[in-house]
Amino acid sequence: MKLTVFGATGGVGREVVRQALAAGHEVTAVVRDPARLEVPAQDRLRVAVVADLTDETALEPVLIGRDAVVSALGAASNKQARLNPVAGPAMSAVVNVMGRTGVDRLSAVSAAPLGPRCPEDGVLLRVVLYPVLRRALRDVYADLAVMEAAIGASGVRWTVVRPPRLLDRPRTGSYRRALDGNVPGGKVIARGDVADALLSTLTDPSTVGHALGIAA
């Protein structure tokens, strides 16, 4: 496939680029700073610098002729999400341009706290940990909620992947999934496995139009 990856210089985004190239895909990595990509140059990798991800004119060249989009966009901190939200405004522009350029498949990372509470989770997770996390990172999750709303209202075939706390570890290929829900007791997952989920959903029709909870 010909893929465009947004958020390519983040921990999950770099893993998406590496895994996609290893699988034989052609990748356009959209970045602000090419030096942060940390992926060796090769024939199937195109690095595209886009300073403003809400600039729909600038987005068109990186989307025309692509088969699918993978988004690993997200604010790096609660302060950044409050002062300069990333995922919501950018994805609103991206799905608009996807519609105009005929790209109709999207996989985007979100977060487990945006999913429904899992009845199987213990009291500590449901009553203490998740509520504290939602308050502490409320601006990050507000940005992601705007992103999910924009995706859901678009005409593209989308999947939103909702992981819990991310660990800076490579792909294991062994993780749990829950369609339209969170994984019971799911507390952590490797960034490499989040990338694996984002890529694998692109060819899994059962995930189209759904949120996918994942966890180790």
Q: Which helix (H) or strand (E) holds 13?
A: helix 11-22
Q: Is the pTM of this model over 0.75?
A: yes
Helices then strands, each counted (H, E), the chain: 8, 10
Measured in degrees and rounded to the nearest 5, phi and psi for residue 196 equal: -60, -45
Write out pLDDT tens, residues 153-195: 999 999 999 999 999 999 999 999 999 999 998 889 999 999 9
- Please report the pLDDT score of residue 125 as a whole number: 66
Q: Which residues pair with 178 in a beta bridge?
A: 213
Q: Which residue has the tokens 């990798």?
A: 45
The residue ranges of DSSP E strands in 102-193, in sequence order, are: 105-109, 157-162, 165-167, 176-179, 188-190
CA 167 – CA 42 distance, rounded (Å) = 28
Tell me if 46 sits within 8 A of 29, measured CB to CB: yes
Q: Is 10 left (phi over 0), alpha (psi -120 to 50) or beta?
A: beta
Write out pLDDT tens, residues 39-93: 999 999 999 999 999 999 999 999 999 999 999 999 988 888 889 999 999 999 9
Q: Which residue has the tokens 């890529």?
A: 199
Q: What is each CA distance from 166 to 11, 25, 157, in whole angstroms?
A: 9, 25, 26
Write out pLDDT tens, residues 93-113: 999 999 999 999 999 999 999
Q: What is each CA distance from 126 to 41, 94, 139, 142, 171, in whole angstroms?
A: 45, 34, 20, 19, 28
- Residue 170 gets which letter from DSSP? -
- Please report the pLDDT score of residue 196 as a whole number: 98
| Closest of 151, 40, 15, 138 to residue 87, by C-alpha | 151
